Chains A and B, each alone.
Chain A
């Protein structure tokens, strides 16, 4: 029958479209592994994990990933230190205190923060936030993780606030009412009942925000500097994994060279971090869905 073959063909095409996502994953892992294995033929994996210097572009080459990791972790920590308290407060406020109309207008408005291209935030960090911070703390270097981290934190506020608010919103009303019924204030109800009840959703939102911050590139490439160094001092220039990849890509490194392969070794490190975070959040989400279904 004609229509039946037609139906089959269409279904197959749609299935192929969906399967491209599998190819993407295979491609990502394959490409990273392929170049990284070639990289480790020349560089010892022990050096990579323990050396405290990262200078592949210099004459005196060192291939220790730690400085890039510390740069990434440092900026991410600063960003979360900004986004978590603010984002969670916003979520609780919108859910428990704000009038409906306020919530309806401000929730989408906050989401605009996540729609601004990150290169714009980079510009903002470099030309506005850093000078402002320098006016308070003059020793602050022109490139630093503090400014980049703060701006990154602002960018990821909506990830925390919107998703946490969704999680709070999903809590059955009866729970809230029971707490009010016992004479608890909104503040007590929020933090003793609602936030714990929504904790898995909130944790997922924070993990997502962290994963976003780890992978963020342009803000740190513009405002945090290009000097890999193993430090947790937020006032000096550092370099993140992502910024390093950009730095190499901007230059003229020949394909197939050791320098070229460093960006894949750095990339796989980044990928592993975010993959672990995604897996944990996926796992929490699944547990949590089971609980409420």
Chain B
């Protein structure tokens, strides 16, 4: 792929100095540019294993951009460049020799709008496994069923696994997309406003799901819904104009933020 040859990705791994041993994801001095426009400025953050971290902040502040750095989905964007280091599971992921396909097996992503493949429900969930070259039918089937059960969709679709995924409701589709992500057993699940296109009931069921998922996965979620961030996350980062203004326990961010900007944002005084 061309992407790996871009200059912005460092050519050799430097020794990693102080690794926060507990952190699964770490960003150090990350600066991101779209052409001349700087979308992220000096981002430093670390996220622990089996935690839920929420990114909040006004539109255009760089939440999605940052999230997409973790699975390198930004690589496809013209003019994109990144400086600094992103370390996942002790490995720098933004240097040349990283195999993107391997990285993405570890770091799954759920998108804002449900985007099931125009295939059957079963094939949707099995896709990630088949891509890895797994041929064992019973293994695939087991994993598919387990993943669908994990997202609490099983009762609704167990008789329709051969039906097109496009026939599901929006909420069901989004849960299917989560199941599809879980089926390859990533360590990290990135979610970019996963409930913004859904009705309140579907949203509630996905939030509930996230509590369960925390046991096994590390979750990073972008949301515009303050209540949602407060309900589901352990830690919250408040982004503003490409910078992290404040990053702390969710409880503190929502009850006693240290920064005035954070205070203003969560109380809805600007947005």
Contact = CB atoms under 8 A, between A and B. Distances in A.
Let me know if chains A and B touch directly in the complex, using CB atoms closer than 8 Å. Answer: yes
A7 B1 contact: yes
A1 interface: yes
A45 to B, nearest CB: 48
Contacts of A60: none
Contacts of A4: 1, 99
Contacts of A1: 99
Interface residues of A, number: 4
Interface string B1-27: 100000000000000000000000000
B160 interface: no
Interface string A1-22: 1011001000000000000000
Nearest to B2: A11
A11 to B, nearest CB: 9
Interface string B98-121: 010100000000000000000000
Contacts of B99: 1, 4
Contacts, number: 5
A87 B37 CA distance: 48
A7 B99 CA distance: 13
A121 to B, nearest CB: 42
B131 to A, nearest CB: 10
A283 B207 CA distance: 55
A7 B100 CA distance: 13
B113 to A, nearest CB: 26
Nearest to B99: A1
A41 B242 CA distance: 71
Nearest to B4: A4
Nearest to B133: A3
Nearest to A1: B99
Contacts of B101: 3
A256 B99 CA distance: 58
Nearest to B102: A1
B2 to A, nearest CB: 9
Nearest to A2: B133
Nearest to A7: B1
Nearest to A3: B101
A7 B1 CA distance: 8
A110 B97 CA distance: 56
Nearest to A8: B1
A3 B132 CA distance: 11
A76 B99 CA distance: 59
Interface string B221-257: 0000000000000000000000000000000000000
A4 B2 CA distance: 11
Contacts of A3: 101
A95 B1 CA distance: 45
A1 B99 CA distance: 9
A185 to B, nearest CB: 45
5 contacts: A1-B99, A3-B101, A4-B1, A4-B99, A7-B1
Interface of A: 1, 3-4, 7
Q: Which 5 A-B pairs have the closest CB atoms?
A: A7-B1, A1-B99, A3-B101, A4-B99, A4-B1
